[in-house]
Amino acid sequence: LPQAVESGMGRRYTGWNAPPSKRQITTLSVCLGDVFLFFFILAPLLHGAARWGFLLSFAFVMAVTFTAGILAISIDPVDPMVEAFELDIEPPENHEDEEVAYCRHCKHSVQLDSKHCWDCNKCVANFDHHCPWLNTCIGTRNYGPFYVAIWGLLVMLGLILAVAAFLLEQILNTEAGHGIQSDYGFAKWHLITILILTIFVNGVFALLDMTLVV
């Protein structure tokens, strides 16, 4: 089965289980890269109240986004009836007239709103979709933190785009650009290249993220 974890029942328990997806590695790399970029390159180019305002805003949004993302990855959204079977405990109580389905892959009864995910090889309660960016399924149990994470990421990317666009405009304006100096001795064309790449990469990710939140 694709991406299935060969342990226990051969299913993926959380997004931390190996193997990681290429898009999960890309997500982590871009997020960590953006944190380094903002705190050590973009923010130092700002001055006065603007620097501290953007720094505090970005730090808060980053903390919320990372916390929610880690929760979404760490929570196992498996169907509770399958989980009870695995743990050898009493399944959650169901009303007598409530119908259940049977999954021939999990070899157990599951809730009607559950769906079997082939990437994780398990039935997920109130299955929404499999998220390759987090390497896990999204269902009832982790939809809340997932929703917070994608909105937080959109705000985080928006802050980076706003700062990068503002700095690029200032640098391209010859008179205003004289006041922007890098602590690392970057030449003007170095900064322009960094800012254009920052806008392009984060712009693409912002558009991808918007497809999830809209």
pLDDT string in tens for the chain (214-residue length): 344 444 444 789 999 998 899 999 999 999 999 999 999 999 999 888 999 999 999 999 999 999 999 999 999 999 999 998 888 787 766 544 567 889 988 888 898 889 999 999 999 999 999 999 999 999 999 999 999 999 999 999 999 999 999 999 988 886 555 556 666 677 888 899 999 999 999 999 999 999 988 7
Please answer whether residues 77 and 141 qualify as being in contact, where contact means their C-beta atoms are separated by less than 8 angstroms: yes
Residues with catalytic function: 131
Q: What is the pTM of this model?
A: 0.85
Q: Read off the tokens for 18.
A: 């190996």
Q: Read off the tokens for 122.
A: 């398990």
Longest Cα separation, the chain = 76
